[in-house]
Structure 1
Amino acid sequence: MRPMRNKMVKCRNLKLGVGRPKIAVPITGHTMADILAAVPAIKAAQPDLVEWRIDFYDAVMDPVKLQQTGQQLRAVLGDIALLTTFRTSGEGGNLALTEAAYFDICATALAGGYTDALDLERYHDETAVKRLVAQAHQQNVVVIMSNHDFEQTPAQSDIVQRLASMVDWGADIAKMAVMPQSAADVLTLLAATNEAQQTLTQPVITMAMGDLGKVSRLAGEVFGSCLSFATVGAASAPGQISVERLRPILDELTLNN
């Protein structure tokens, strides 16, 4: 029997939470020129969504340059949905920041008016996270709330609880990434995904990272993950698969009933 589907979330022209998992690719350029130069190859690969990893951007601390670059990126992407993400160093990102600086950058990204979705890490100050969720929703920006464990795979109940807490805090989509040490860890992640997509009111994104976890990036439609991250050029996390390899696999695994 086809698994129960979550509430659909629309991000620009993209419908997340229905059908096969959509494909996102990262942009990790350090300069505006690098970022814009990555776009033609990405557009040629036809992903569903682009994730701009602003923690790699050299001028991320300059509000004017951040917004100008985001606006130029938005213009050249055409109809492709754009997710803006600052990944903190504690969750595998490229730059260490104070709490205040993290929230300032996220607020600056929202104020730039260029992004369709914003990644907000769950494990920061609750009041500040919820304030940004409200700001995003006022601007019709989708909030993907996230948590990344690069050391281990938590217990199934812990993964589900973390995802549920994101929904409780106002996330439109809840995201969890783990690092498996065994095949059993991958099964734990998949079981947690299945439980979450059956019990939560919002879609989820999950993945087990590294080579062991690659199967989790392929099986999202069966277990309930609505987005898979792939590569055109540089990867942003271990275990990502190229778009040209991932797309036909996702199409082959599409549920027809």
Structure 2
Amino acid sequence: MSKIIGEGTQPLICTPLVGRNQEIVLAELANVLEKKPDIIEWRADFFEAIANTDEVVALANTIKEIAGDLTIIFTIRSIREGGQTIPLSDSEAMELNAAICTNTSVEYVDCELSNLPEHFQQLCKVARENSTKIIASFHNFNCTPSKESLEERFTQAEEYGADVAKVAVMPKTLEDVLTLLSATLEAKNKLKIPVISMSMGELGAVTRLFGGVFGSTVSFAVGQSSSAPGQVPIEDLNTVFHIVKKSMGM
């Protein structure tokens, strides 16, 4: 049975697929499955045929079929939030997200809060009609906004009707890392939906290891290839999670 974000006593481990074509994506998938993650994220912005909806839907279905009970997240990360350059407008990317909800059994679709509110809420409507869940995400690869600003992003995700709120930011100091963890704990205590958070890069790597203590429900790990700076190998995450669970009695 697919794992649901926010359930369980420790963060779920998610590994990305970032292949340029079907052959590479499926080879990555085979490699990653051996490492037994909880979730697989297909970063479709890396996929060269992203403009071909039928091809994207078909590959999403193939990934889900091969992955079986493993939970799948479908993500088109925009260039403004750290993704690849793609030949789709924001509205076309939203149409592709909707097609994934309608024509596949992928469990989660990631949608950035920087999209137009009406587009976001329309996608949430389509998702609900098809039993797909929406992860509302915010990324800042340049800095860490204030704690208040981060809390606003978490709250905005819930207000928009998303099922999960995700925030990823870049620290310049260890104080920035504390800001992210503090905002995460605040969101965990206030929101009715699960939260995912991370501070990126080497400074922020500690949040990928111990973010679950502060309320983050997913940690993104290196399966075969990394999709963001600071991701930790899945084997290391498993070791740390086991130690944290044992030592904190979680």
Give the TM-score range, shorter chain: over 0.9
Quote the Cα distance in structure 1 between the aligned partners of 2:26 and 2:2. 22
Deviation at 1:220, TM superposition (A): 2.2
Check the 8 A contact 2:212/2:218 in 1, yes or no: no
Check the 8 A contact 1:20/1:220 in 2, yes or no: no
* 1:94 lines up with 2:84 in the alignment: yes
Quote the Cα distance in structure 2 between the aligned partners of 1:29 and 1:221. 28
Name the SS for the 1:213 alignment partner.
helix
Name the SS for the 2:202 alignment partner.
coil
The percentage of aligned residue pairs carrying the same residue is 33
Alpha-carbon displacement from aligned partner over 1:152-180 (angstroms, at most 9, x marks no partner): 10111110111101100011110000000
Choose the corresponding residue for 1:33, options 12, 19, 23.
Answer: 23
Deviation at 1:102, TM superposition (A): 1.8
Deviation at 1:216, TM superposition (A): 0.5
Aligned residue in 2 for 1:188: 179
Name the SS for the 1:38 alignment partner.
helix
Choose the corresponding residue for 1:172, options 143, 154, 163.
Answer: 163
Aligned residue in 2 for 1:152: 143
Quote the Cα distance in structure 1 between the aligned partners of 2:113 and 2:27. 32
More helix by share: 2
TM-score scaled to structure 1, two decimals?
Answer: 0.93
Aligned residue in 1 for 2:249: 256
Quote the Cα distance in structure 2 between the aligned partners of 1:112 and 1:35. 20
Task: Please tell me the residue identity of whatever aligns with 1:105.
Answer: L
- Pairwise CA RMSD: 1.1
Name the SS for the 1:233 alignment partner.
coil
Check the 8 A contact 2:91/2:119 in 1, yes or no: no
Alpha-carbon displacement from aligned partner over 1:22-72 (angstroms, at most 9, x marks no partner): 100000011111111112221110000000000011111101111111111
Quote the Cα distance in structure 1 between the aligned partners of 2:51 and 2:2. 30
Ranges in structure 1 where 5+ consecutive residues have no aligned partner = 1-11
* 1:66 lines up with 2:59 in the alignment: no
Ranges in structure 2 where 5+ consecutive residues have no aligned partner = none
Quote the Cα distance in structure 2 between the aligned partners of 1:177 and 1:189. 9
Check the 8 A contact 1:70/1:112 in 2, yes or no: no
Quote the Cα distance in structure 1 between the aligned partners of 2:100 and 2:51. 11
Aligned residue in 1 for 2:13: 23
Deviation at 1:13, TM superposition (A): 2.2
Question: 1 or 2 for the larger relative contact order (CA 8 Å, sep ≥6)?
Answer: 1
Q: How many residues align?
A: 246
Check the 8 A contact 2:12/2:219 in 1, yes or no: yes
**Matches for 1:43-54 after TM superposition, within 5 Å:** 43-54=33-44
Deviation at 1:112, TM superposition (A): 2.3
Aligned residue in 1 for 2:46: 56
**Matches for 1:71-220 after TM superposition, within 5 Å:** 71-96=61-86, 97-220=88-211
